[in-house]
Amino acid sequence: AQSVTQLDSQVPVFEEAPVELRCNYSSSVSVYLFWYVQYPNQGLQLLLKYLSGSTLVKGINGFEAEFNKSQTSFHLRKPSVHISDTAEYFCAVSDPAAGNKLTFGGGTRVLVKP
Amino acid sequence: KAGVTQTPRYLIKTRGQQVTLSCSPISGHRSVSWYQQTPGQGLQFLFEYFSETQRNKGNFPGRFSGRQFSNSRSEMNVSTLELGDSALYLCASSLAGGLGSPLHFGNGTRLTVT
């Protein structure tokens, strides 16, 4: 069975500072990897995805993530955050053979302070 | 293009009652998935429908059921409601089944069971 661990439940960060959100997964098969963001009272919005190819993936809103197969990690980074990046971020994996079922991590709440 | 629409946005029910939630996917999307989001358990997969067939099911009791219609709209039903069913229920649609197709989430239905 797959599992996803987001190592930080909360990350406070000052505006214009960089942020890194850590995600590790366990799976016995090759997986697809995703990062989603959830703003208050809203659903989830896709930030980026890794299916194959280049291990550095660029997403929306200036976010990027790096897939590391040997460390089974998919950390999310942004070089300079804005107040509007305050939200909860979820890492997720899916097994290509299991349709669209996503297994999510517990989420990381990012609080950007002025 | 309209996004995923979930109705109603908020629902209050009493223990023992049943409830039906509705989801209209993005036009052209044939896969619809349902997730339950709670503070304690996080995001958990309920089931996925593709072309009116349930393709995948999570670890929820049989009180949770769903269906998909020929126009890809989906409904989710929870019978004999329990207090622990209070949650945000998220519907997501995707263009195709699997192969890393990103999920597009609706804003959810917040169910409160009293």
Which one of A3, A10, A50, A101 would you mutate to disrupt binding with B, by most B Cβ within 10 Å of its Cβ?
A: A101
CA distance A106 to B101: 22
Q: Which of A32, A43, A97 sits opposite B108 (nearest CB)?
A: A43
Q: How many CB pairs under 8 A join A and B?
A: 69
Residue whose C-alpha is closest to residue B58's, from A14, A99, A78: A99
CA distance A27 to B94: 23
Backbone angles phi, psi at A61, to 5 degrees: 60, 25
pLDDT band (50, 70, 90) for residue B41: very high
Q: Does B108 touch chain A (CB under 8 A)?
A: yes
Q: How far is CA B82 from the centre of its chain?
A: 17
Give residues with Cβ within 8 angstroms of B39, minimum separation 6: none
CA distance B41 to B64: 16
Q: Is the pLDDT of residue A106 over 80?
A: yes
Digit-coded pLDDT (tens) for B64-103: 999 999 999 999 999 999 999 999 999 999 987 666 788 9
- Both tokens of B99, joined, read 């192969």
Q: What is the mean pLDDT of residues A29-51?
A: 92
CA distance B10 to B107: 11
- Both tokens of A40, joined, read 């208050």
Quote the mean pLDDT of chain B. 94
B97–A94 CB contact, under 8 Å: no
Digit-coded pLDDT (tens) for A64-79: 999 999 999 999 999 9
Question: Considering only alpha carbons, which residue of chain A is nearest residue B38?
Answer: A106
Q: So what's the pLDDT on residue A52?
A: 85
Q: What is the dihedral of CA A21, A24, A25, A26, to 10 degrees?
A: -170
Q: So what's the pLDDT on residue B97?
A: 62
- Which of chain B's residues have a Cβ under 8 Å away from the Cβ of A103? 45
A44–B33 CB contact, under 8 Å: no
Q: Which of B43, B45, B104 sits opposite A90 (nearest CB)?
A: B43
Share of residues in chain B with pLDDT > 70 (%)? 97
CA distance B112 to B86: 5
CA-based end-to-end distance of chain B: 37
Q: What is the mean pLDDT of residues B24-41?
A: 94
- Which of chain A's residues have a Cβ under 8 Å away from the Cβ of B31? 99-100
A102–B100 CB contact, under 8 Å: no
Q: Is the pLDDT of residue A63 over 70?
A: yes
SS3 A61: helix
Q: So what's the pLDDT on residue A27?
A: 77
Q: So what's the pLDDT on residue A2?
A: 82
Q: Which of residues 48-87 of B touch A (CB under 8 A)?
A: 48, 50, 55-56, 58
